[in-house]
Amino acid sequence: MADDPRAYWNRYLANAHIDVSFAAYTKVPSAWELRDEVPAFNRMYYFVDGEGFIRLDGTTYAPKPGELYILPAGLRTSFGTEPHRTFEKHWCHFTAKVAGDLNLFDVFRAPVCVKPRDPAAVEAAFRKMYGHFPADGLTAAFRIRSALLDLLAVFLEGADGVRFQAKTSSTFGKMNTVLAYIEERIGEHMTVEELAGLAHFQRNYFIQVFKDFTGYSPIQYINRARMDKACQLLAFTGMSVSSVAEAVGLEFSYFSRMFKEYTGYTPSSYRELMPAASETTINTGT
């Protein structure tokens, strides 16, 4: 389970901490170049016209119109453009951190370039992104992040040969083991000390690392995982509500109260909203 790529997506990519530092549409000057630098941020380019090159860790690319590139942080990077036909491109600089301070593109390897099927959608996402700079409105930061997530989804959907790197760091591996342990024992009693022991960390240090990785304390994460599991069981099985409570390791009355706080519905009301559940013969019990 710990090595399942889908588990990595669910645990880390969806919870990535993303920040766009700048975005724009530019016809670059003839002097546009970078020589053998190792940036601390990621670049995304969608080329519209022009000629030139990009070099990443010794591999050289010749971008063409309609190609979307991601230049990950931490790779030795060079680029330049032809003086008489400089690049025109939508672009952004961004950071994407998972598991605390780990770069998203250290979790997996993907091709540098894809050719999106829907160029209009890509350009629309970029326009949405840089249309909200500077991000001074109440919702601007959400819209900018949403646009970047759309572009990352387009990129990864078009990328062949994405490979996950489970052993990116020892801490990453330890946290993945802990999260897999929680998933496998969601109906059992677990203590922070028990989880810290799995990672071979002192309790207080473990709590801080866990929160950096997931955004939640261990107890908060366990309770959210229990509620997510309960939602699944209520929607797709005929288990009684009391059986669902037992399956996620909670006493019935406490489960009902927590579930309503989490979803806004009682367990029985939630089940009635689910089409899959309504087609199943259900004994709701208590």
Residue 163: what are its φ and ψ, rounded to 5°?
-125, 130
What 131-134 contacts at long range (C-beta under 8 Å, 24+ apart), as own/partner pairs, is 133/22, 133/23, 133/24
Q: Determine the pLDDT at residue 2.
A: 41
- Residue 114 · residue 158 · CB < 8 Å: yes
Q: Which residues of 143-170 are buried (b: 16+ CB within 10 A; e: fewer)?
A: ebbbbbbbbbebbbebbeeeebeeebee
CB 81 within 8 A of CB 49: no
Domain 170-278 fold is Arc Repressor Mutant, subunit A (1.10.10)
Please give the single-letter amino acid code of residue 201: F
Shortest CA distance to 93 belongs to which of 133, 131, 48, 42? 42
| E strand or H helix at 163 | strand 163-164
CB–CB of 60/54 below 8 Å? yes
The whole-angstrom separation of Cα 240 and Cα 247 is: 10
The predicted structure's pLDDT at residue 111: 87
Supply the pLDDT for residue 284.
39
- CB burial class (10 A; 0-12, 13-18, 19+) of residue 175? buried
81: its two tokens: 């453009």
pLDDT of residue 273: 86
> Where do the structural domains in the chain lie, given as residue ranges?
16-164, 170-278
What's at 188, amino acid-wise?
A: E
Q: Which residues contact 37 (CB under 8 A, 6 or more apart)?
A: 76, 77, 78
Tell me, yes or no, if the two domains 16-164 and 170-278 fold the same way: no
Contacts of 82 by beta carbon, 8 Å cutoff, 6+ apart: 50, 51, 52
In tens digits, the chain (286 residues) has pLDDT values of 344 445 555 556 666 788 899 999 999 999 999 999 999 999 999 999 999 999 999 999 999 999 999 999 999 999 999 999 999 999 999 998 876 667 888 777 778 999 999 999 999 999 999 988 876 677 888 899 899 999 998 998 888 766 665 545 577 778 888 988 999 999 999 999 999 999 999 999 999 888 877 778 999 999 999 999 999 999 999 999 999 999 999 999 999 999 999 999 999 999 988 765 444 444 433 3
The overall pTM is greater than 0.85: no
CATH of domain 16-164: 2.60.120.280
Is the backbone of residue 138 left (phi > 0), alpha (psi -120 to 50) or beta? alpha
Q: Which pair of structure tokens corresponds to residue 137?
A: 């409105």
Q: Rg of the chain over CA atoms, in angstroms?
A: 23
Q: How far apart (Å, rounded) are the C-alpha atoms in residues 59 and 153?
A: 24
Residues 4, 22: Cα–Cα separation, whole Å? 34
Among candidates 146, 80, 74, which has minimal Cα distance to 109?
Answer: 74
Kind plus residue range of the DSSP H or E element containing 184: helix 170-184
